[in-house]
Amino acid sequence: MLAALVINSTIAIGAIGAEQPAFAVSKETTAITGPLRDDGSLDYVAALNQRFGQGVTPENNGFVLWLRVMGAREPQSIRKQTLAMCGVPAQTNLGPGWKDYTGKTPLDEQPARMWKAEDYPAYAAYLNRQEDLLAVAAQAAAKPQWWAPSVSLDGTVMQILLPELNVMRQVSRTLCGRALLRAQQGDFDGFLADVMTAKRLGRRASDWTVIGHLVANRIDETADQAIGVTAGAGVFSSEQCAKLAKALDGVEPMPPLWETTDVGERWSMLNCAEVIATGKLPSAYGEEMRPFKAVDRDSVDWNVVLQRLNGVSDEVAAIMKTPTFKDEQIARRIFDWKMEKIAANQQSQPSLAKQPGETNQAYTERVADAILAAISPSLWRAEDTCRRGSMREVLARAVVAAAQYRADKGNWPNTLQDLVPAYLPQVPVEVFSATGTEPIQYQRTDLGILLRAPGPKLSDTPLDITEGTGSDTPVEGP
C-alpha cells in the first residue's frame, strides 16, 4: 500500500480512519479539495452539484418544470435520484412528456421559410397538440435558475447522463417552426416569444459539458435562422424590429467554451486518473480504458500525473483565449503536434505494465501520456462550431438592424456603415479573419440583402444569413 501523502489539514480531519488516496488533494493536483469520499478521494459528481446547484430551489429552478416536458423520457436509471435532488416527490406523475415530430417541416427547406398551416397541415396539427408542453417549456426557460442535477451511473463524471439535452433541442426547433408560422400570420408577439424562448433554452443547455455547448449552438442556430428569414423578408415594422433588437441585445451571452472545458473536461480527466490510481476503474468503461487495468499503481507518482493533466487543461484554456484566430491556429498546431507524438509513442508500447528496469519516474510519465492519449479530447472543432454560432448571432442582429432601416427609409442600406450609430453601435466584424477586425460581408441583391462571414479557414462551409426577400419599398408592419 502506498504511503499516505500530507494533505490539507482540514481535509485530513474529515478522513481520519479512512484509507488515504495515493495523491495529494490540492488545487495543483485534483483541482478541487472537496467533497471527499470515505476513502479520501474526490467526489467530482457531488462537486458539480454543489457548484451548479448553489442558490437553486424547487421554486426558482426551471428544470423542475422541464421534467414535465421530458415526462417518461427521464431514464428510469436516474429518475428517482433526479426527482429527489430537485425536491419533487417520487410519486409525481410527470405525464408522457414530449413527442418529437418526424415528418418534414418548414425548417427542413433550403432555405427555411415562413409558412401557412395549409402548406404543412400535419405539422400544424402537431403544433396544436404540443401547445400545452410548449407553454410549460416557456415557463421553464423564464425561471431565474436552471439546474439539472448531475446523476452518474457509477459515481464518476464520465458516466453522468444528460437526457434533457436532446429534448431541449427538439422543443427549441419546434418553437422556431411555430415562430415562422406566427410571423406569416402577422403574430409578431407570438413570433418573438417563441424565438426568445428557444434562445433562453439554448443558454440553459450550455452547462458544464462540451456536448451541452454544441446543443446550445444548434438551438441558437435554428433561432437565428428563423430571425434572419423573417427580418430579411421585410415583414416587420420599424417598431417591431426595434423590439426584436432590444430583446436580442438583452439575451445573456453564451459562455465561452474554455469556461466549460476548464470544469467539465478537466474534472473528467482528473476523475478518470483518480479511479485508475485507486484501482476502482469501473468495468463498464470502454475498450480504450482496458489497458489501464495493467498499471502498477504503486510505482506511479500520481501527483505528477494529476499535475500533468492540469497542465494540459491550462494549455487548452490558454489557447482558446488567444486574441486572434490566426494566432490561435498556430498555438493549436503546436499543441496537436505534441499530442500526436504522445499518441504515437503510446502505440509503440506493448503494455502499460511496468517494464523491467523502468524507473518510477519514466513509468509515471508513460502512464500520464497514456491517460492523455486515451481521454484528452480534441476540442478545436467544437470551439470553431461555438464561435461560428456567436458569429451567426451577430449576423442575425445585423439583419434586424437592416430591416429596421428599410422600414424607416423605404430601402435596404447600401452598406452596413449606414446602420451606424442609429441601428447598430458599430459595423460587425469577422472573428475568423486574420486580425479579427475585418467587417462582415454585406451585399444588396435583386432579392434583398445577403450577409456573410467566411468562417474558419479550416472549414469548407461559409457562414451566411438567408437573403431578404422584400423589395425596396416601404413596409407597413403586419
Tell me the pLDDT of the chain (478 aa) as tens digits: 222 222 232 333 233 334 577 899 999 999 999 999 988 899 999 999 999 999 999 999 999 999 999 998 888 889 999 999 999 998 888 999 999 999 999 999 888 899 999 999 999 999 999 999 999 999 999 999 999 999 999 999 999 999 999 999 999 999 999 999 999 999 999 999 999 999 999 999 998 999 999 999 999 999 999 999 999 999 999 999 999 999 999 999 999 999 999 999 999 999 999 999 998 877 656 667 888 999 999 999 999 999 999 999 999 999 999 988 889 999 999 999 999 999 998 888 879 999 999 999 999 999 999 999 988 878 999 999 998 999 999 999 999 999 999 999 999 999 999 999 999 999 999 888 878 888 999 999 887 899 988 777 544 444 454 444 443 333 333 3
Spatial distance between the Cα atoms of 472 and 451, rounded to a whole number of angstroms:
17
φ and ψ at 240, to 5 degrees? -70, -40
User: How many residues does the structure list for the chain?
Assistant: 478
Angle at alpha carbon of residue 176, lines to 112 and 57, rounded to 5°: 155
Sequence-distant (6+) residues with CB within 8 A of 138 are: 193, 197
Cell numbers linked to 69 = 416536458
Listed residue (15, 41, 14) closest to 30, CA to CA: 41
- According to the model, what pLDDT value does residue 376 have? 82
In angstroms, the Cα distances linking 443 to 129, 425, 452, 467, 468 are 41, 20, 9, 9, 11
Is there a contact between 105 and 22 (Cβ–Cβ < 8 Å)?
no
Is there a contact between 175 and 202 (Cβ–Cβ < 8 Å)?
no
Spatial distance between the Cα atoms of 456 and 1, rounded to a whole number of angstroms:
51
pTM metric for this prediction: 0.89
453 sits in which H/E element: strand 449-453
- According to the model, what pLDDT value does residue 318 have? 96
- According to the model, what pLDDT value does residue 462 have? 44
Helix (H, G, I), strand (E, B) or coil at 166: helix
- According to the model, what pLDDT value does residue 470 have? 41
CA atoms within 13 A on the CB side of 202: 29
- According to the model, what pLDDT value does residue 72 have? 81
Spatial distance between the Cα atoms of 250 and 238, rounded to a whole number of angstroms:
18
Burial of 273 (0-12, 13-18, 19+ CB in 10 A): buried
Spatial distance between the Cα atoms of 364 and 304, rounded to a whole number of angstroms:
7
Listed residue (467, 459, 385, 395) closest to 219, CA to CA: 385
Cα-to-chain-centroid distance, residue 11 = 33
- According to the model, what pLDDT value does residue 57 have? 97
Long-range contacts of residues 155-159, Cβ cutoff 8 Å, at least 24 apart? 155/43, 155/45, 156/44, 156/45, 156/271, 156/272, 156/275, 156/282, 157/44, 157/45, 157/48, 157/264, 157/267, 157/268, 157/271, 158/268, 158/271, 158/272, 158/285, 159/282, 159/284
Angle at alpha carbon of residue 86, lines to 85 and 87, rounded to 5°: 90
Listed residue (232, 227, 224) closest to 450, CA to CA: 232
Spatial distance between the Cα atoms of 367 and 355, rounded to a whole number of angstroms:
12
